[in-house]
């Protein structure tokens, strides 16, 4: 069971927007930055969002991140079939001095 | 451009030690700003952070609670690389292992190594 809670799966049609939630506690999301990763099995995970809402160079602005209190959200607009992947949130767990990830959310673009 | 290159065996027998190395180019394992991590991924557990090493006037590290009793992550400054050693492996340790650079987020990753624990 992961420290951060994500929905196991989400789905939407091409062109639509989807959001993926990540719920934590006061000792992780509540006091630290959140990052988001896209992982297609068999490939290397890709950093999508860091410091809650910043995008690395090369990540399109269709991807957005936000944080409020003990939860964070990843938004993906203008869905494409190529967005099908597993998405993970991550942050620092201050009570244990470790990095924690959510359990992952499988995105299906119908 | 930072590149991380992993090496090590893909098959380990139960109860033995898993050993992987991550070679760094474009950065230094001794950097005062970088942090070097090992992360694994499996279908059953998703992404799992294992631990990290970093240099801030002295070498320090942190390890995940789940593996703390049997993991060592060591820097090798002479080769500009760092390594993962995981003792007493079981089939539960079967996963794709990645090295990655980053403190609270991971911007550069190794290519991944599928490690299967089987006799």
Tell which A residues from 8 to 47 touch B, by Cβ distance under 8 Å: 32-33, 35, 37, 39, 41, 44-45, 47
- B91 CB contacts (<8 Å, ≥6 apart)? B14, B117, B118
Are A71 and A21 spatial neighbours (Cβ–Cβ below 8 Å)? yes
Tokens of residue B92, six digits? 């539960």
DSSP 3-state of B105? coil
- Band (pLDDT 50/70/90 cuts) for residue A2 is confident
Q: For residue A44, which residues of chain B lie inside 8 Å, CB to CB? A: 98, 109-112
| Residue of B51, B53, B7 whose CA lies nearest to B31 | B53
DSSP structure string for A33-98:
-EEEEEE-TTS--EEEEBTTTB--TT--TTEEEEEETTEEEEEE-S--GGG-EEEEEEEEETTTTE
Average of pLDDT values for A20-25?
A: 98
What average pLDDT does the structure give for chain A? 97
- What single-letter DSSP state applies at residue B64? -
Round to whole Å and give the CA distance between A74 and A39: 14
| Interchain contact, B47 vs A45, CB within 8 Å | yes
Q: What is the pLDDT of residue A52?
A: 98
| Residue of A109, A39, A34 whose CA lies nearest to A77 | A109
pLDDT tens readout for residues A44-66: 999 999 999 999 999 999 999 99
The answer to whether B98 contacts chain A (CB < 8 Å) is yes
- What single-letter DSSP state applies at residue B115? E
| Interchain contact, A102 vs B64, CB within 8 Å | no
pLDDT tens readout for residues B58-117: 999 999 999 999 999 999 999 999 999 999 999 999 999 999 999 989 999 999 999 999
Average of pLDDT values for B28-43?
A: 96
Residue A69 CA from chain centroid, whole number? 16
| Interchain contact, B107 vs A86, CB within 8 Å | no
The answer to whether A99 contacts chain B (CB < 8 Å) is yes
């Amino acid at each position: 069971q992961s420290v951060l809670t994500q929905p196991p799966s989400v789905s939407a049609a091409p062109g639509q927007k989807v959001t993926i939630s990540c719920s934590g506690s006061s000792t992780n999301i509540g006091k630290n930055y959140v990052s988001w990763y896209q992982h297609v099995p068999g490939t290397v995970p890709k950093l999508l969002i860091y410091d809650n809402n910043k995008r690395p160079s090369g990540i399109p602005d269709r991807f957005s991140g936000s944080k409020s209190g003990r939860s964070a959200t990843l938004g993906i607009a203008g869905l494409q079939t190529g967005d099908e992947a597993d998405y993970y949130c991550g942050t620092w767990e201050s009570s244990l001095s470790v990095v924690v990830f959510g359990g992952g959310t499988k995105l299906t673009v119908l | 451009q930072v590149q991380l290159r992993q090496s090590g065996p893909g098959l380990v027998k139960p109860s033995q030690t898993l050993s992987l190395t991550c070679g760094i180019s474009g950065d230094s394992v001794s950097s005062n700003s970088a942090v070097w991590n090992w992360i694994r991924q499996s279908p059953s557990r998703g992404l799992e952070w294992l631990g990290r090493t970093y240099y801030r006037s002295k070498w320090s590290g942190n390890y995940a609670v789940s593996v703390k009793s049997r993991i060592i992550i060591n820097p090798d400054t002479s080769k500009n690389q760092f390594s993962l050693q995981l003792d007493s492996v079981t089939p539960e340790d079967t996963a794709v292992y990645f090295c990655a650079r980053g403190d609270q987020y991971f911007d550069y990753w190794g290519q991944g190594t599928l490690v299967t624990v089987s006799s």
